[in-house]
Amino acid sequence: MQKNSPDVAFRLEQELRRGVLMLAVLSQLRKDQYGYSLRQLLDAKGMAIEEGTLYPLLRRMEEQGLLHSEWKIEDGPPRRYYRRSRDGEKIYRGLATQWRGLVATVEGLMEESK
Amino acid sequence: MQKNSPDVAFRLEQELRRGVLMLAVLSQLRKDQYGYSLRQLLDAKGMAIEEGTLYPLLRRMEEQGLLHSEWKIEDGPPRRYYRRSRDGEKIYRGLATQWRGLVATVEGLMEESK
DNA sequence: GCACGATACATAGCTACACACAGTATGTCA
DNA sequence: TGACATACTGTGTGTAGCTATGTATCGTGC
């Protein structure tokens, strides 16, 4: 093993989850959610995401038109709430379908590798 | 939609498959396979991968100790055959487990987003 | 023998994005 | 008032997929 084994495995696992974060985040934005709470929610469901990742991701998806956001100051500090846009709904559904196809494909590949 | 919609969806779909390519490739290397044939094999099973991606990926995984390779000149042009190493076997199994957990997590997230 | 196409591999440059790290701001409580 | 929690923002680094391009060998037809 030329490279540090724990690091390699760790990096590969990170890479494995990488493209899924976006889908995970989108999945929870049917209704208004703000970043901090969204992060806690995802963490509780087994999908931890760094804040340095989540906030740029949210900003990016809004720029791409997938999300709407608005500031609210009710109780506690100011919060930025996000929610899927109409286009975001369509894209989310498309991605969900793509994901399921991907899962099936990989499942087939791994089955035959025994 | 501020950005070009087909491009956004396309990019997101690409991102979705990103970290999975490595797992797909690893899954097919229980026995010797060379790049070109591996690419065709994966394509036939629904997991297309660009050669500009596959070859650096194979090289990378060998450098990380996950694969062994050897040149063979039998019939046709010279080919570089790859196969999982012992460490590669271990890491592959770990990644497969990780993947299944990830799938279950995302499934749960998407279920609740209806 | 040569040209062409198929097979087979390699890599530089670019883009996109997660993560690490650091900083800012507001509200709450002792 | 200061400390801490909540909440958000932004920069730099590293990694990996894709595009584009190039090299090399083999096989076949002329």
Residue nearest to nucleotide D9 (CA to C1'): A55
- Contact residues, chain B, for A112 at CB < 8 Å: 27-28
Q: Which of B12, B65, B103 sits opposite A95 (nearest CB)?
A: B12
CATH of residue A25's domain is: 1.10.10.10
Torsional sign, CA B55, B57, B61, B63: positive
Q: Which residue of B has its CA nearest to A7?
A: B64
Q: Note the pLDDT of residue B5.
A: 57
Q: Which residue of B has its CA nearest to A99?
A: B16
Percent of chain B residues topping a pLDDT of 90: 82
Q: Which residues pair with B81 in a beta bridge?
A: B34, B70
Q: Note the pLDDT of residue B89.
A: 96
If you search the block for the tokens 């042009």, which residue do you land on? Answer: B77
A59 touches strand D (CB under 7 A): yes
- Contact residues, chain A, for B17 at CB < 8 Å: 19, 102
B15 inside domain? no
Residues whose CB falls within 8 Å of the CB of residue A35, separated by 6 or more in sequence, listed in order: A51, A54, A55, A58, A79, A80, A82
- Which of A27, A31, A67 is the best substitution to test chain B (most B C-beta atoms within 10 A)? A27
- Contact residues, chain B, for A23 at CB < 8 Å: 16, 106, 110
ipTM for the assembly: 0.88
- Is B93 buried (19+), middle (13-18) or exposed (0-12) by CB count in 10 A? exposed
E-assigned strand segments in B1-114: 33-34, 67-72, 79-84
B39 inside domain? yes
Note the pLDDT tens digit of each residue in A18-49: 999 999 999 999 999 999 999 999 999 999 99
Range of the domain at A52: 20-111
Q: Is the pLDDT of residue B114 over 70?
A: no
A8 inside domain? no
Contact flag B65-A20 (C-beta cutoff 8 Å):
no
A14 inside domain? no
CA atoms within 13 A on the CB side of B67: 28
Spatial distance from the CA of B74 to the C1' of C17 (Å): 43
Count: domains in chain A? 1
Note the pLDDT tens digit of each residue in A62-104: 999 999 999 999 889 999 999 999 999 999 999 999 999 999 9
Note the pLDDT tens digit of each residue in B13-65: 999 999 999 999 999 999 999 999 999 999 999 999 999 999 999 999 999 99
A3 inside domain? no
B5 inside domain? no
Report DSSP state, residue B77: S
Contact flag B2-A110 (C-beta cutoff 8 Å):
no
A5 inside domain? no
Give A109's pLDDT tier (boundaries 50, 70, 90).
very high
A6 inside domain? no
